[in-house]
């Protein structure tokens, strides 16, 4: 099973700032099969990025993903008020599908 | 618009069974794999099971193997999760999720979930 470790656990930033979230895998994620989701309190998660860097339908271009192998990054170029949430990475390159523990982006 | 509505959750004693249902609408149900993903209160996400679009292939996470069974009825646009021998650690919100066509194994729409509480 591939274990995903996300850091930091909590990121305290102000609107307009840049957010950089990390996801590290215990072994290489095949074919860049890494996705990112956003979850707001009381809501279901929402797909942001798949294939490490492809934005899902309707996702604004301030969200970008990068990385390969064992190290992946989600960047939010300029935080909007609606971006404060918890973010999860997920690998789908090998069974079982696994998620990271999440990074909470909170308002500073 | 896409809708996934889960039902069937509730409070159940350890060792008992529960069947969850997910009603899908707004998309071509028979074209998509469907998953169950759970989230314990205040915790992260855990993948539970997947069923292929035609129901011929099913895979389970380690916590579900041997106890849970996923199934679907394409004539009714429904997906199910039969959960047997429930344990306290199965307490969670259970979401059904629609598989992304462009990236099998990812989920481009989730239901709001149904809460399962396993307690004596």
Predicted local confidence at residue A20, as pLDDT: 98
All residues of chain B having their beta carbon less than 8 Å from the beta carbon of residue A96 are 47, 59-62
Contact A102, A46 (CB under 8 A): no
Contact check, Cβ <8 Å, A99/B105: no
Q: Name the percent of chain A lying above pLDDT 70.
A: 100
End-to-end CA distance of chain B: 40
Is the minimum CB–CB distance between A94 and chain B shorter than 8 Å? no
Core vs surface per residue B41-78: b (16+ CB within 10 A) or e: eeeebbbbbbbebebeeebbbebbeeebbbebeeeebb
Predicted local confidence at residue A32, as pLDDT: 86
Residues of chain B with confidence (pLDDT) below 50: none
A31 has a pLDDT exceeding 90: no
Contact B24, B108 (CB under 8 A): no
A102 has a pLDDT exceeding 90: yes
Give dist(CA B120, CA B93) in Å, integer: 18
Q: What's the mean pLDDT when you consider all of chain B?
A: 97
A30 has a pLDDT exceeding 90: no
Predicted local confidence at residue B10, as pLDDT: 97
A47 has a pLDDT exceeding 90: yes
Is the minimum CB–CB distance between B33 and chain A shorter than 8 Å? no
Separation in Å, CA of A76 to nearest CA in chain B: 20
Contact check, Cβ <8 Å, B61/A96: yes
Compare CB distances from A92 to B60, B105, B113 and report the shortest one's residue: B105
pLDDT digits (tens, 9 = 90+) for A55-99: 999 999 999 999 999 999 999 999 999 999 999 999 999 989 999
Burial class (CB in 10 A: 0-12, 13-18, 19+), B101: middle
Predicted local confidence at residue B102, as pLDDT: 87
């Amino acid at each position: 099973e591939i274990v995903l470790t996300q850091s930091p656990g909590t990121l305290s930033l102000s609107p307009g700032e840049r957010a950089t979230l990390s996801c590290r895998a215990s072994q290489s994620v095949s074919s860049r099969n890494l996705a990112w989701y956003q979850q707001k309190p009381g809501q279901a998660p929402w797909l942001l990025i798949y294939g490490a860097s492809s934005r899902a339908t309707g996702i604004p271009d301030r969200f970008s993903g990068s990385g390969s192998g064992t190290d992946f990054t989600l960047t939010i170029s300029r935080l909007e008020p609606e971006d404060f949430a918890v973010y999860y990475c997920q690998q789908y390159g090998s069974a079982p599908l696994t998620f990271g523990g999440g990074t909470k982006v909170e308002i500073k | 618009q896409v809708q996934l509505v889960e039902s069937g959750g509730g409070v159940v004693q350890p060792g008992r069974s529960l069947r969850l249902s997910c009603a899908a609408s707004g998309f071509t149900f028979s074209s998509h794999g469907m998953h169950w993903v759970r989230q314990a209160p205040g915790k992260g996400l855990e993948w539970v099971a997947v069923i292929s679009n035609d129901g011929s292939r099913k895979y389970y996470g380690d916590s579900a193997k041997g106890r849970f069974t996923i199934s679907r009825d394409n004539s009714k646009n429904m997906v199910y999760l039969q959960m047997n021998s429930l344990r306290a650690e199965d307490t969670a919100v259970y979401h059904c999720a629609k598989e992304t066509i462009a990236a099998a194994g990812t989920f481009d729409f989730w239901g709001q979930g149904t809460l399962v509480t396993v307690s004596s």
